[in-house]
Amino acid sequence: MLPSPPEPRIQNPADVYRSAIGGHRPVSALAPMQAVSSLEYWQVMHRRGGPDLYFTEYFRVHSTSRLDRFILRSIDENETGKPVIAQMIGNDIPCLVATAKELAHHPIAGIDLNLGCPAPIVYKKCAGGGLLREPERIDAILGALRQAIDLPFSVKTRLGFDTADEFPELMKVFARHDLDLLTLHGRTVKQMYRSAVDYRSIRMAAANLPFPVLMNGNIHSAKHALTIQKDIQGAGWMIGRGAIRNPWIFDQIRQEQSGEAIVYPTGQDVLAYIQDLYDTLRYKTVSDEAHITRLKKYLNFIGLGIDPQGHFLHAIRQSRSEQHFFDTCRGFLNHSDPMTLEPMDIPMKPRDVLAGVHR
Ligand SMILES: Cc1cc2nc3c(=O)[nH]c(=O)nc-3n(C[C@H](O)[C@H](O)[C@H](O)COP(=O)(O)O)c2cc1C
C-alpha cells in the first residue's frame, strides 16, 4: 500500500481538542499505550480511519527526568491531523509542573496525568495507580497542575486501588479541580486488565462530574461502543487493545453513529494491516528476529481475534523469521471473508496479564 500523504499540521490543537470534547458528538480517542503508541503506529491507525484524539504513552517525571525524545517525536512530527495529548506520570509537584510547562512548547493539545498505571514497579513508588491510595496527595497535585497549565488538562484514572468503593471519595477530589476531561477505566488497580469492566461506575461519574468523562475499558466493537454510550452518556470512548486488534473500529463507530452499515475488514485487509505494521514500525538497523519480537506486542492482541483455538497466536509466538511470520499470517488471513476481530475465548497463561479475554 502506498503511504498516505501527511495531513496538514493543526494550527491550534488545543482549540480543536476543546471543541471536540465540548461538542454534541461523542469523541473517540486512541488510548495511551506504553511501547505501542508511536509516531509510526499512529500513521498506521490513521491510514485506517483513526480516532479523533491521540494520547501519548506516559512521560516519566521525577527529579532527574528529561523529556523522552522518542515520545516527543510523536508530538512534533504528528502527521495524523488530529490533536495529541501528552501524558505524564509521577508524583513530584515541582517536576510535574516544570515538565508540563516544557511540554507546552511542543504542539500538544493538552496535558494528561496518569492515575491508573497498575504495574507494581510504578504503583509501589506511589505514582500512576499508586496515587489512588492517597487522595490528599492527588488533590495537591491536581491543584498545582491546574494552576500552572493554560492548556486543557485531564486525568486518566481507575475506580480505586483495592475496590471501587474508593471511587466516590476520589470523585470528590477530581470535582474540586477544573479539569477539562477525565478518562475512566472501569477497573481498580488491583484488577489490572482482565476482570469485567464496571460501566455502572463510569455512568455515575459521567452523571455527576462537572466535566466530560471518556469511557474506557473493553470496547471491542462499534455496537458495544454505542450501547454503552446510550446507557452512560459519556463524552466519548477511549480504546486501547480493541484498536490494536481492529484499527477500523473508529470508522466503524462513525458508521454506526450515522446509521450506515458497518464495513468489516476481510482477512486480506487484516493481512495488509499486519504488513503495514511490519513495514512502518521497522527500524533499519534491527534484525528480523528483534523486529518480530517487538511486533508480537501488537500481534498478541490481534491474535485474539483471528481463530477461536488460538492456533494463529501460538504459531506467531513461535516466529523468529520474516518467512515464518508471513507464512503464518497468510495461512490464516489470505481470504476475503469479513472479520469482526472481536476477542475470542482463547486460554491464556497467567503471565499474559494484558491479553486474554477482556470481558
Ligand atoms: C500495552 C499497553 C500499554 C499501556 N500503557 C499505558 C500508558 O502509558 N498510560 C496509560 O494511561 N494507560 C496505559 N495503558 C492502559 C490503556 O490506556 C487502557 O486504559 C487499558 O488498556 C484499557 O482499555 P482497553 O480495554 O480499551 O485496552 C496501557 C495498556 C496496554 C495494553
Flag whether pLDDT at 49 surpasses 70. Answer: yes
Give me the mean pLDDT over the 187-194 stretch. 94
Flag whether pLDDT at 351 surpasses 80. Answer: no
Give me the mean pLDDT over the 136-155 stretch. 98
| pLDDT tens for each residue of 5-43 | 677 688 899 999 999 999 889 999 999 999 999 999 999
Residues with CB under 6 Å of ligand 1 are: 31-34, 36, 57-58, 87, 114, 116-117, 156, 185, 216-219, 239-242, 354, 358
Give catalytic residue positions.
Answer: 117
| pLDDT tens for each residue of 319-336 | 999 999 999 999 999 999
Which atom of ligand 1 lies at the shortest distance from residue 57's CA? 8
Residue nearest to atom 10 of ligand 1 (CA): 32
**Which pLDDT belongs to residue 11?**
86
**Which pLDDT belongs to residue 350?**
65
| pLDDT tens for each residue of 103-139 | 999 999 999 999 999 999 999 999 999 999 999 999 9
Calculate how far, in angstroms, residue 242's C-alpha sits from the geometric centre of ligand 1. Answer: 11
Which atom of ligand 1 lies at the shortest distance from residue 187's CA? 22
Residue nearest to atom 13 of ligand 1 (CA): 33
Residue nearest to atom 15 of ligand 1 (CA): 33
Flag whether pLDDT at 316 surpasses 80. Answer: yes
Give me the mean pLDDT over the 343-357 stretch. 70
Going from the C-alpha of 261 to that of each of 223, 243, 253, the distances in angstroms are 11, 19, 10
**Which pLDDT belongs to residue 7?**
75
**Which pLDDT belongs to residue 9?**
82
**Which pLDDT belongs to residue 354?**
61
Flag whether pLDDT at 357 surpasses 60. Answer: no
User: Which residue out of 157, 241, 297 has the highest number of ligand 1 atoms within 8 Å of its CB and is therefore the one to mutate?
Assistant: 241
| pLDDT tens for each residue of 75-101 | 999 999 999 999 999 999 999 999 999
Give me the mean pLDDT over the 246-270 stretch. 98
Report the chain's mean pLDDT, rounded to a whole number: 95
**Which pLDDT belongs to residue 358?**
46
Calculate how far, in angstroms, residue 33's C-alpha sits from the geometric centre of ligand 1. Answer: 5
**Which pLDDT belongs to residue 1?**
53
Flag whether pLDDT at 353 surpasses 60. Answer: no
| pLDDT tens for each residue of 152-164 | 999 999 999 999 9
Instruction: Please name each of the domains of the chain with its CATH number.
Output: 13-257 (3.20.20.70), 264-359 (no CATH)
Q: How many CA atoms lie within 13 A of 14 on its CB side?
A: 16
Q: What is the 3-state secondary structure (H, E, C) of the chain?
A: CCCCCCCCCCCCHHHHHHHHHHCCCCEEEECCCCCCCCHHHHHHHHCCCCCCEEEEEEEECCCCCCCCHHHHHHHHCCCCCCCEEEEEECCCHHHHHHHHHHHCCCCCCEEEEEECCCCHHHHCCCCHHHHHHCHHHHHHHHHHHHHHCCCCEEEEECCCCCCHHHHHHHHHHHHCCCCCEEEEECCCCCCCCCCCCCHHHHHHHHHHCCCCEEEECCCCCHHHHHHHHHHHCCCEEEECHHHHHCCCHHHHHHHHHCCCCCCCCEHHHHHHHHHHHHHHCCCCCCCHHHHHHHHHHHHHHHHHHCCCCCHHHHHHHHCCCHHHHHHHHHHHHCCCCECCCCCCCCCCCCCCCCCCCCC
Give me the mean pLDDT over the 288-292 stretch. 97
Share of the chain above pLDDT 70, in %: 95
**Which pLDDT belongs to residue 20?**
95
